[in-house]
């Protein structure tokens, strides 16, 4: 662990306290939970998910940032914190709590009864989620969704480093082994199949309550992407204000600020903000792996999505 002296890792403390009670993906070389049939990050526990489904009181003005892991969630959280009155040094994770995480893991999540009391700022609140749309926890007709998709090859490589760096997962495999897990429809990975995740949200992309963005477009045109987010949630910002947010949320600027996840990563792990580029997967994986990934995209996705931007 890389925390300061005396730092108690809330995730490992949670895990040790929990033992092996959680339902896990069987015969998996990664320590992975299962809730309602979906493989989940192990600290996304059933009681929290059920509380979210049954007790969470949605309000008009709630927006969920939804992604498959490693697709630009944290930078999106860092952007929207400015829409709820936070400033550059405020913690992005708490400005849009990940309510699927057990509230017993503080610093990331909050109990649902506390979430229900979090006041809106100018009518807006934000939450983070990795859930699929068909049974999303915020099925309430009041919430909106910002969905961010990223090239699956880049997601795969970033995800590999992510899992290797968190001791909780207990994963000793190499990138080739991980690639096979990714290709196997994520049966043993947090939140399942990348294809299913992106494909299901893509079908919702034209709905009024969904803003579908690509991570690659956020890199190419951060100003345009942030403007779309602001307009979507009714944040009335001048061009100068948007420029300020672009600058504050660039990879280089975000790197200067501490991010909680690095405190609970292994000492030798890659930093949570690792490279922040497009194309890393293509450069890292073998030609054969890239071909197999592309063939699966063509078989799974139809039309526009099959060609963009992972072909
Ligand atoms: P890499 O591992 O490819 O570098 P998530 O927040 O969904 O877990 O996504 C993490 C990925 O987003 C990591 O990708 C990380 O470096 C990248 N990222 C984080 N902040 C970023 C920023 N400000 N700009 C671009 N990419 C960023």
pTM over the 0.85 mark: yes
Parent domain of 285: 10-307
Q: Is 233 among the domain residues?
A: yes
User: What angle separates helix 194-203 from helix 287-300, to the nearest 10 degrees?
Assistant: 40
Report CA(54)–ligand 1 centroid distance (Å): 32
Q: Is 1 among the domain residues?
A: no
The mean pLDDT value of the chain amounts to 92
The residue whose CA has the least distance to atom 24 of ligand 1 is: 251
Please give the Cα distance from 158 to 170 (Å, whole number): 17
Confidence of residue 18 (pLDDT cuts 50, 70, 90): confident
The set of catalytic residues is 130
Nearest-atom number in ligand 1 for the CA of 274 is: 4
User: What residues line ligand 1, using a CB cutoff of 6 Å?
Assistant: 67, 69-75, 154, 158, 161, 249-251, 254, 273-276, 280
Nearest-atom number in ligand 1 for the CA of 75 is: 20
The residue whose CA has the least distance to atom 10 of ligand 1 is: 70
Residue 311, pLDDT score: 45
Q: The CATH number of the domain where 48 resides is what?
A: 3.40.50.300
Report CA(156)–ligand 1 centroid distance (Å): 13
Counting runs of H as helices and runs of E as strands, what totals does the chain give?
Answer: 16, 6
Please give the Cα distance from 283 to 289 (Å, whole number): 11
Q: What is the rounded average pLDDT of the residues 270-278?
A: 97
Please give the Cα distance from 116 to 110 (Å, whole number): 10
Tens digits of residue pLDDT in 54-68? 899 999 999 999 999
Q: What is the DSSP letter of 16?
A: H
Closest CA to 173 of 31, 53, 1: 31
Residue 39, pLDDT score: 94
Count the Cβ atoms, other than its own, within 10 Å of residue 188.
Answer: 20
Residue 309 has pLDDT above 90, yes or no: no
Q: What is the rounded average pLDDT of the residues 239-258?
A: 98
Confidence of residue 1 (pLDDT cuts 50, 70, 90): low
For the chain, give the percent of residues with pLDDT over 70. 96
Q: Is 2 among the domain residues?
A: no
The residue whose CA has the least distance to atom 20 of ligand 1 is: 75
Residue 2, pLDDT score: 66
Report CA(154)–ligand 1 centroid distance (Å): 10
Q: Is 20 among the domain residues?
A: yes
Q: How many domains does the chain have?
A: 1
The residue whose CA has the least distance to atom 22 of ligand 1 is: 251
Report CA(3)–ligand 1 centroid distance (Å): 21
Residue 104, pLDDT score: 82
Q: Is 3 among the domain residues?
A: no
Q: Is 104 among the domain residues?
A: yes
Residue 310, pLDDT score: 53
Please give the full DSSP string across 199-211, using - where no structure is assigned: HHHHHTTTSTTEE
Tens digits of residue pLDDT in 24-49? 888 899 999 999 999 999 999 999 99
Tens digits of residue pLDDT in 72-126? 999 999 999 999 999 999 999 999 999 999 988 877 889 999 999 999 999 999 9
Residue 107, pLDDT score: 79
The residue whose CA has the least distance to atom 26 of ligand 1 is: 276
Tens digits of residue pLDDT in 157-211? 999 999 999 999 999 999 999 999 999 988 999 999 999 999 999 999 999 999 9
Q: Is 251 among the domain residues?
A: yes
Q: What is the rounded average pLDDT of the residues 227-242?
A: 98
Report CA(250)–ligand 1 centroid distance (Å): 10
Residue 27, pLDDT score: 85
Structural contact between residues 131 and 190, judged by C-beta atoms closer than 8 angstroms: no
Nearest-atom number in ligand 1 for the CA of 280 is: 3
């Amino acid at each position: 662990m890389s925390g300061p002296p005396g730092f108690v890792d809330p995730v490992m403390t949670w895990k040790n306290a929990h033992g092996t009670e959680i339902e896990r993906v069987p015969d998996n070389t990664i320590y992975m939970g299962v809730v309602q049939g979906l493989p989940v990050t192990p600290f996304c526990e059933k009681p929290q998910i059920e509380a979210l489904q049954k007790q969470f009181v949605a309000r008009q003005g709630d927006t969920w940032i939804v992604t498959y892991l490693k697709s630009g969630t944290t930078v999106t959280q860092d952007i929207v914190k400015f829409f709820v009155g936070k400033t550059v040094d405020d913690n992005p994770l708490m400005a849009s709590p990940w309510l699927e995480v057990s509230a017993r893991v503080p610093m990331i999540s909050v109990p649902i009864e506390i979430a229900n009391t979090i006041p809106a700022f100018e009518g807006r609140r934000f939450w983070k989620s990795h859930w699929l749309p068909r049974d999303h926890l915020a099925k309430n007709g009041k919430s909106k969704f910002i969905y961010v998709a990223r090239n699956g090859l880049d997601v795969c490589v970033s995800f590999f480093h992510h899992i290797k760096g968190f001791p909780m997962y207990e994963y000793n495999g190499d990138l080739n082994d991980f690639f096979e897990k990714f290709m196997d429809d994520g049966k043993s990975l947090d939140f399942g199949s990348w294809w299913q995740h992106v494909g299901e949200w893509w079908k919702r992309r034209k709905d009024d309550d969904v803003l579908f963005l690509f991570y690659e477009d956020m890199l190419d045109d951060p100003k345009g992407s942030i403007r779309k987010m602001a307009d979507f949630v009714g944040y009335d910002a001048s061009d100068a204000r948007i420029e300020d947010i672009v600058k504050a949320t660039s990879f280089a600027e975000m790197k200067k600020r501490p991010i909680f996840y690095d405190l609970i990563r292994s000492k030798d792990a890659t930093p949570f903000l690792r490279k922040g580029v497009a194309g890393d997967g293509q450069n890292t994986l073998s030609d054969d792996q890239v071909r197999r990934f592309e063939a699966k995209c063509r078989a799974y996705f139809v039309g526009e999505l099959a060609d963009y931007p992972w072909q």
